[in-house]
Amino acid sequence: MIETDFIPDSLILDKDHGIVQYTSPSNIALIKYWGKLENQIPANPSISFTLNACSTTTKIEYVKLGKRASDFSFDLYFEGLPKEEFKPKITTFFKRIITYMPFLLEYRLSIHTSNTFPHSSGIASSASGMSALALCLMEMERSFTKNMTDDYFDRKASFLSRLGSGSACRSINGPLVQWGKSNYVESSSNLYGIPFPYDVHPIFNNFHDTILLVDKGEKQVSSTVGHDLMHGHPFAANRFKQADDNLGKIIGVLESGNIKEFMKIVESEALTLHSMMMTSNPYFILMKPNTLSIINAIWEFRETSNTHVCFTLDAGANVHVLYPENEKDKVFSFIKEKLVPFCQNGQYICDQIGQGAKKKVIYV
C-alpha cells in the first residue's frame, strides 16, 4: 500500500457525538530503529516484541461542530487532570495526519489518557501513547465508513501511529511486529508495521521482560535529536546494513528457537544502538554506571547458571531483561537479589510479550 491509499474517499459524517477507547501497549525492539528520513521513514528495518503490562489507555469523546473549523479543537486530560503542556505534541500530530483524517476539523475532541507505568519512570510513553490515540481516531473513522476491513483498520492505525512516533507503529499488533522495508520480509513496508509473518518457535511464547528502572530522570538527549544525529554519522551506512542483516538472521532464529543466537543478536543490537550515540557528533551517553553493572551481572550469571537470560536497551539507561517462561523462577530470583539493588529506589516492572492493542468501551 502507498500513502494515498490511506486518504479516505467517502466519509459519512452523520454522527453528532460518540466515545471510543483503546488500551495500547509499549514495545521493545530486538532490531533497533535509529535514524530516519523525511516523514518518519525509517533508515533501516526493525522488529519488536509487543509488551503487555506497560500500556496507555486513551478515551476520546467527540462532538460534531456546527461547521468545519480552521484549527483543531480539543481538550487533553492526563490521569484525570488537564495537561496543557502535552497539547503542542498532539497538535503537531494532527497536522501531520490531517490529509488522512480530514474529519478532525469537523469535531471537538475531549481526550483522556493515562499510563500503567509512572510518568517519570524513564519508560518512553510515545509508542503506547501515540498508538492508543491513533486507534481511537481510527475507531472514529470506522464509524464514518462502510465496510472497513480489519486489515485496513490495523494498517492505517499503524501508519498514523508512525507519524506520531516511529516505534509506535509496532504497538498495534503482537506478539512480534516488523516495520521497515527489507528484502527479507516480502510484505514489509516503511509506512506501517506488520505482524511478523513467519513461524515462531514456542520458546518465545510468554517471553518475559523485566524492566529495571536505573534512571528515572529526563534524558539529556531526546530520541528525535538522536535520530537526527545519524545524518552524516560516519558509521550510518554500515549500521543500516547491519540492522537489515540482523533482521535476516533473527527471522531464522525466531523460527528455529536458537536462543543462543537470539541472545547474541539482541545484545549486539542494544550495544550498537548505544555505540551510535557515543560516536555521534556531538557524542552522548545515555547509559549510567548501573546500566553497565547490570549488564556485567547478567553475563556473569548466565555463565554459571545455564540460563538464557539476556538484555536489551532502548534510548535510555533502563535495562530490559529478557528470558523464557521455563526459566522464570531461577532468573527472577537472580533479578531480585542481584539486579534490583542497581535500580533507582529499587523500582522495576514485570512485563511479558503481549498480543497488541485492545478496544475497551465503545459508543459510536
Q: Catalog residues that contact ligand DP6 under the rule CB under 6 A.
A: 29, 32-34, 40, 46, 124, 126, 165-167, 223-224, 227, 273, 314-315
DSSP 220-263: SS-HHHHHHTTTT-TTHHHHHHHHHHHHHHHHHHHHHT-HHHHH
CB of 143 to ligand DP6, least distance (A): 28
CB of 127 to ligand DP6, least distance (A): 6
How many angstroms separate the CA atoms of 136 and 164, rounded?
A: 14
DSSP 96-133: HHTTT-GGGGGEEEEEEEEESS-TTSS---HHHHHHHH
Contacts of 110 (CB under 8 A, 6+ apart): 60, 61, 62, 63, 74, 75, 77
Closest CA to 307 of 315, 299, 295: 299
CB of 272 to ligand DP6, least distance (A): 11
When CB distances to ligand DP6 are compared, the closest residue is 166
Q: Which is nearer to ligand DP6, 62 or 93 (CB)?
A: 93
Q: Which is nearer to ligand DP6, 21 or 40 (CB)?
A: 40
CB of 227 to ligand DP6, least distance (A): 5
User: What phi-psi label fits residue 173: left (phi over 0), alpha (psi between -120 and 50 degrees) or beta?
Assistant: beta
Q: Which is nearer to ligand DP6, 33 or 207 (CB)?
A: 33
Q: Which is nearer to ligand DP6, 47 or 294 (CB)?
A: 47
Place of cell 505534541: 89
User: How many beta carbons lie within 10 A of that of residue 41, not counting itself?
Assistant: 13
Residue 262 amino acid letter: F
Q: Which is nearer to ligand DP6, 30 or 259 (CB)?
A: 30
Q: Strands of 319-323's sheet, edge to edge?
A: 310-313, 319-323, 208-212, 348-352
How many angstroms separate the CA atoms of 263 and 250, rounded?
A: 10
Q: Which is nearer to ligand DP6, 177 or 298 (CB)?
A: 177
Q: Which is nearer to ligand DP6, 103 or 240 (CB)?
A: 240
